[in-house]
Structure 1
């Protein structure tokens, strides 16, 4: 796991705004999330990486966000999900109790990618390492706006994202002039209420 973490840091960047994870949170998710993720929390905390382009988060804080996106979606029936990470722009990385890192919600455009293949319990630790190693800054950087947003708006706090105002699904422009620092949970719930969640299709790429 140390090798995977080192590669992750080289790819995404150094940690920032570390929050210690209380033992009660470790206990809450024991047997629910993979042991290596819980060990990662205990060792490294919940925090941002790469000047805030990527964040590992407390799933409990995002339960309302999760419900807002999935309660009226057929995805809710496919697994029990927990938000374990997000990007600076509010992309959500969900962990399925049976399917691991199988669902990602791109909140700004109300789209998702889904890989519903079930994994054996003994494969979940390996799947978490693979998730960390799959990340790269280009993938996390919405429309190549991160550095410009950080320069203009300042670095994000642990409870903030860069959000488009008005939202893209309201027809707002996708440009730096319409980005603001917004509260992550509140803005993500708002986005979930604007437009139904739909799968990405090949024409979207």
Structure 2
């Protein structure tokens, strides 16, 4: 195990719901995603970390969601993006084939943030290591709701997230009483159709 992944594991701790990555998936993304990421897949699989607050995922399962959210936005013409990780609350980490770890979507708010990664071109493998080492537990939480949500609703499966019902973008409150364990692909697709994806504004911080 390399140092970057060791730093990541030290931050997040235990794994849950590990799924072996089939050879067909490795082959599908060979040349599209960095070799370093594919090595992590082979060694560690797709699974949840930190009791399920952060997940490494199969990008293929999120293709429809990416297409739905980016349709009609400027992002659609910038790069081809693939979801490589997500949080318990549906934050999506997208890898651009040309721009690397350059896009994060906060799905519950229908907002995105672009990051100009220095790890592009032949530095993509270093970019994967930097991505893993930079992840933090607290930035994958939403309003410190993860622990109480897990206690109330139970541990997430690989196809689940904690979602607000009704959705925040429909005027629903963002508190524990309105959290539910939902199927992530279906819920994210719904969120992508509720509200136009917009960039975070400085006033959001």
TM-score range, shorter chain: over 0.9
| Gaps in structure 2 of 5+ consecutive residues | none
Runs of 4+ residues over 2 Å off in structure 1: 115-121
Shift of 1:133: 1.2
TM-score by length of 2: 0.97
Match of 1:5 in 2: 5
**Alpha-carbon contact 1:100-1:124 (below 8 Å) kept:** yes
SS of the residue 2:17 aligns to: strand
| Aligned mates of 1:16, 1:155 — CA distance in 2 | 9
Match of 1:48 in 2: 48
Match of 2:114 in 1: 114
**Alpha-carbon contact 2:120-2:127 (below 8 Å) kept:** no
Q: Deviations over 1:19-51 (max 9, x none)?
A: 111111000000110100000000100000000
Match of 2:103 in 1: 103
Shift of 1:119: 4.6
SS of the residue 1:108 aligns to: helix
Match of 2:15 in 1: 15
| Aligned mates of 1:120, 1:193 — CA distance in 2 | 31
**Alpha-carbon contact 2:18-2:46 (below 8 Å) kept:** yes
Shift of 1:118: 7.2
| Aligned mates of 2:171, 2:134 — CA distance in 1 | 31
| Aligned mates of 1:33, 1:186 — CA distance in 2 | 25
After superposing the two structures, state which structure 1 stretch, 61-70 or 88-97, moved more: 61-70
**Alpha-carbon contact 2:111-2:200 (below 8 Å) kept:** yes
**Alpha-carbon contact 1:98-1:119 (below 8 Å) kept:** no
Shift of 1:117: 5.4
After superposing the two structures, state which structure 1 stretch, 141-150 or 120-129, moved more: 120-129
